Amino acid sequence: MKKQFILIIIAFVFVCAVVIFQGNSIDNVTAARPSETSVRVENVSFQDDIQPILERRCIKCHGGEFPSEGLNVETYESLISGSQNGLVIIAGEANNSLLFQKIESGEMPKRGQHLTAEQIELIRQWINEGAQNN
Ligand code: HEC
């Protein structure tokens, strides 16, 4: 009788431990996500986040004396002034910005690998936050 009682208590403690442990790990997973995204959601910086991507992946065609399609991404001013066809960035409207459409569809960069999902997301956020020279 006593043995059974002890066994039941041990089983109960074990079940509680499993429930608490799982509860904790679920909390951790859901808690980690909002803080991860909030780091990326705010304050995308042109100089720190966007310019390095353009320099690495776009400038060899969209830079120098004869940039492709008249689009020069070397400076903020030349990027914002657009291509020979007009603006490629509409502040606050990534989905209506030709530049965003080209990278999201994978048309640009014209050669080499597509931008990563994270790079595309940074550019989307930067445009939607007003495409500032920050
Ligand atoms: C290998 C050369 C090359 C690279 C690298 C490249 N582009 Fe282009 N891009 C072109 C050419 C050429 C065009 C002209 C249209 C076409 O051929 O699709 C163009 C057109 C564009 C246009 C359309 C301009 C317009 O008004 O029609 C945008 C926007 C653009 N590129 C953005 C980018 C961005 C952003 C990157 C980097 C992520 C990039 N490109 C990398 C060659 C390149």
For residue 49, how many other CB atoms are within 10 A of its CB?
17
Backbone angles phi, psi at 64, to 5 degrees: 75, -160
In this prediction, residue 10 carries a pLDDT of 63
d(CA 126, CA 49): 9
Task: Summarize pLDDT for 24-48 with one digit per residue, the tens.
Answer: 554 444 444 444 444 445 789 999 9
Pocket of ligand 1 (CB under 6 A): 57-58, 60-62, 68-69, 71, 83, 85, 88, 98-99, 102-103, 108-111, 115
**Looking up tokens 């009682």, which residue turns up?**
5
Q: Whose CA is nearest to atom 31 of ligand 1?
A: 108
Cβ pair 63, 69 in contact under 8 A:
no
Average pLDDT, the chain: 84
Task: Summarize pLDDT for 53-81 with one digit per residue, the tens.
Answer: 999 999 999 999 999 999 999 999 999 99
**Amino acid letter, 61:** C
In this prediction, residue 68 carries a pLDDT of 98
For residue 93, how many other CB atoms are within 10 A of its CB?
12
